[in-house]
């Protein structure tokens, strides 16, 4: 190859950084949206896919997809969007979309309702724990059959944080890419400034600890656009945003790896209070401080007790009549 040929290849590579996707090959990614019931997950998905339709309540696990062409005359890339309804009550369904076949191209978006701080930690902890343990089971299986892939996934978890980052040894990255979205920022904005500070600081710590990106959003177009940037990066490999907003009086926007424990600071409690709290890990300490201000709703209270079979949007006359007879 001449120097010119090499230069042309290099420029093309820079213009189309497709993470090693070959020319003409279709890129396929999968994303699972989960979080608080009525937290705004469907609205965010519809905006990402630029669909102008009114969101309907999600029943159990729903699926949709989006397609985008990277360049003119190339096959369209596909993003599979799964959405888990019912808050934390159907979390065992998480294992349906995440499999050993798609684990390399899977990501999770956790939508937390900022207007319900008392549900925030319980929802987050339960959903992330169930997802993590399922993903770890898959990784253990993959390790036996394909150790290179398992090693690549483990390395990728660490890639968001540069090796020279002061917190490199102090965090515990989530096993697959994770974005945390704080929804209903418009309601959250009306909260007392001290409450806002505690919630913002805690979510910054949790996101940084898990190697996740964090963004606050509402129905405002400008804020939804910021969430879309992070989701489009996961779904279609679009460029990551380099901008950061950590001002507690404004909506947070922190892409993975761009925060630090020194910037976040210690948990918002007095030294004597922190001294009394018995915590084995930094995460546990933050949870105890957070729950001092926002006593958590119990896991049982967050369970959805409504029978999905009674949902009117899925009414089917003949089946409902027979079901009625059976119940009688």
- What is the CA 61 to chain-centroid distance, rounded? 16
pLDDT tens-place string over residues 35-87: 888 888 888 888 777 777 777 777 788 888 888 777 677 778 888 999 888 77
How does pLDDT run across 242-263, given as a tens digit for each residue? 788 888 788 888 888 888 888 8
Beta-carbon neighbour count of residue 228 at 10 Å? 19
Tokens of 173: 């990255």
Q: Under a CB-based contact definition with an 8 Å cutoff, are residues 242 and 233 in contact?
A: no
* Cβ neighbours for 175, distance < 8 A, ≥ 6 positions apart: 132, 135, 136, 139, 153, 154, 157
19 pLDDT above the threshold of 60: no
**For range 184-190, the mean pLDDT:** 88
pLDDT digits (tens, 9 = 90+) for 142-154: 888 888 877 887 7
pLDDT at site 15? 61
Distance between CA atoms of residues 142 and 150, nearest Å: 6
The confidence score (pLDDT) of residue 243 equals 82
What's domain 25-298's architecture? 3-Layer(aba) Sandwich (3.40)
Distances in whole angstroms, Cα of residue 142 to Cα of each of 27, 28, 259 = 21, 19, 31
Q: Is the pLDDT of residue 17 over 70?
A: no
| pLDDT at residue 306 greater than cutoff 70 | no
The phi and psi torsions of 232 (rounded to 5 degrees) equal -65, -30
**For residue 301, what pLDDT is reported?**
61
Rounded Cα–Cα distance for residues 181 and 207 (Å): 10
First-residue to last-residue Cα distance in the chain: 80
Residue-range domain boundaries for the chain: 25-298
- Predicted model pTM: 0.80
What the block records as the tokens of 66 is 């989006």
Q: What is the pLDDT of residues 82-108, one digit of tens each?
A: 988 877 777 788 888 888 888 888 889
The angle that helices 193-209 and 282-293 make with each other, rounded to 10 degrees, is 160
């Amino acid at each position: 190859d001449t120097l010119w040929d090499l230069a042309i290849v290099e420029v093309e590579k820079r213009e189309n950084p497709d993470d090693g996707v070959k020319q003409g090959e279709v890129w396929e990614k999968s994303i699972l949206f989960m979080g608080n019931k009525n937290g705004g997950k469907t609205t965010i998905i519809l905006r990402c896919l630029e669909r102008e339709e009114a969101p309907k309540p999600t029943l159990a696990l729903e699926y949709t997809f989006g397609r985008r062409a990277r360049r003119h005359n190339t096959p369209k890339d596909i993003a599979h969007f799964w959405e888990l309804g019912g808050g934390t009550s159907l979390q065992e369904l998480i294992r349906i979309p995440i499999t050993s076949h798609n684990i390399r191209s899977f990501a999770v978006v956790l939508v937390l309702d900022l207007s319900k701080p008392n549900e925030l930690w319980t929802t987050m902890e339960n959903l992330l724990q169930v997802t993590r343990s399922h993903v770890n089971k898959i990784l253990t299986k993959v390790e036996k059959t394909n150790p290179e892939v398992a090693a690549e996934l483990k390395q990728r978890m660490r890639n968001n944080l540069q090796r020279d980052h002061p917190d490199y040894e102090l965090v515990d990255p989530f096993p697959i890419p994770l974005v945390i979205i704080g929804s209903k920022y418009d309601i959250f904005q009306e909260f007392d400034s001290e409450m806002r500070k505690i919630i913002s600081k805690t979510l910054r710590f949790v996101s940084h600890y898990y190697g996740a990106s964090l963004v606050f959003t509402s129905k405002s177009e400008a804020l939804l656009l910021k969430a879309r940037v992070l989701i489009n990066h996961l779904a279609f490999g679009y460029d990551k945003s380099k901008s950061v907003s950590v001002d507690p009086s404004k909506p947070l926007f922190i892409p993975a790896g761009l925060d630090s424990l020194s910037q976040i600071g210690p948990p918002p409690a007095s030294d004597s209070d922190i001294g009394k709290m018995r915590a084995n890990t930094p995460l546990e300490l933050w949870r105890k401080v957070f729950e001092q201000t926002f006593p958590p709703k119990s896991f049982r209270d967050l369970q959805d007790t409504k029978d999905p079979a009674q949902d009117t949007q899925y009414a089917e006359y003949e089946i409902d009549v027979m079901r009625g007879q059976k119940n009688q």
